[in-house]
Structure 1
Amino acid sequence: MKHLFLMLVLISILWSAELDWSNDYEASLEVAKKENKHLYVLVTSSTCRWCRKFESTTLQNEKVLKMLNEKYVLVHADRDIDDLPSWFNVKRVPKHYFVTSKGEEIYSFVGYWDELDFRSFLGDVDKEYEKKIKQGIIK
């Protein structure tokens, strides 16, 4: 029984995906340009319980992990500590920003979202990006 448990733990470690976060917005823009990706910027606060819930539930979901890793360079910033451009006007957290590699906002929303709703928002980001391209808002 002990060996079975140990084997299950090892398998779960090997198969679990991780997110590669940065807290350096400017450096992440450069990485996004090189990798031809957009940025997902998650802004939280150390005192926000909804932020912790989002991190410990939604961001642990395998489907969410896969979607984020495939399409985005990830930035996780604390609004009280990290430097972000002034247009990130964060009053409530968690705040989610989707940004082009040129620093143009595609889409943003606030709050805790479960994995199903968050994956739906990820689909909305793609639609909003295409809409803004057609309208000439994003180039």
Structure 2
Amino acid sequence: MKTVLTLLLIFFTASAQEYKEFAKEMGYETKYETALAKAKKEKKDLMVLMVTNYCPWCSKFEKKTLSDKKIDESIKAKYIPLIINKEEGGFPSYLNTPIVPTTYFIDTKEEKSYYERVGFVNKIEFLEVLKQME
């Protein structure tokens, strides 16, 4: 029984860090205040992805959609990308959501969301979302 619990603990600890690896690999910020300051300096808005530990749809969205080169370039041309783990806190209350993944597009001047998308979004649909934001 101890072995099973130990293995589960190792698995869940590794899963909880996946979003940080994704952020590092893709150049996403992981702290709201840092991303906001960077966005204001570069005169860009924020694209915020809210995730949690152990969320299979969050991981799928990162790997299948956001890792796409065309999508990544489109995001970074207009937004500072930020990924936040809801379970770790450190974000404004207006970003609190019961459903993950949730993607927000934030006006950095007003610190207000002007578009939200709940759930996994495939590449084609997400490119359409980005085009609508232009």
Normalised by the length of structure 2, the TM-score is 0.76
Please report the RMSD computed on the Cα atoms of aligned residues, expressed in angstroms.
1.2
- Quote how far apart the aligned CAs of 1:23 are: 1.5
Q: Give 1 or 2 for the bigger CA radius of gyration.
A: 1
Q: 1:19 to 1:71 in 2, by over 3 A?
A: farther
Q: Find the partner of 1:122 among 126, 130, 134.
A: 130
- Quote how far apart the aligned CAs of 1:29 are: 1.1
Contact 2:86 2:96 in 1 (8 A): no
SS at match of 2:94: coil
| C-alpha distance in 1 between matches for 2:113 and 2:67 | 25
| C-alpha distance in 1 between matches for 2:117 and 2:65 | 15
Normalised by the length of structure 1, the TM-score is 0.74
**1:70-96 deviations in whole A, cap 9, x for unaligned?**
111111001111311011131000000
- Quote how far apart the aligned CAs of 1:22 are: 1.3
- Quote how far apart the aligned CAs of 1:37 are: 0.6
| C-alpha distance in 2 between matches for 1:57 and 1:81 | 24
Contact 1:51 1:94 in 2 (8 A): yes
Aligned length: 109
- State the match for 1:106 in structure 2: 114
Q: Find the partner of 1:34 among 41, 47, 57.
A: 41
Q: Find the partner of 2:104 among 97, 100, 108.
A: 97
More helix by share: 2
Report 1:75-94 matches (<5 A): 75-94=82-101
Q: Gaps spanning 5+ residues in structure 1: where?
A: 1-17, 127-139
| C-alpha distance in 1 between matches for 2:50 and 2:99 | 9
| C-alpha distance in 2 between matches for 1:88 and 1:120 | 23
Q: Gaps spanning 5+ residues in structure 2: where?
A: 1-24
Give every structure 1 segment of 4 or more consecutive aligned residues whose post-TM-superposition deviation is greater than 3 Å: none
Identity score, percent: 33
**1:80-123 deviations in whole A, cap 9, x for unaligned?**
11311011131000000000122121111101011110011112
SS at match of 1:105: strand
| C-alpha distance in 2 between matches for 1:82 and 1:111 | 20
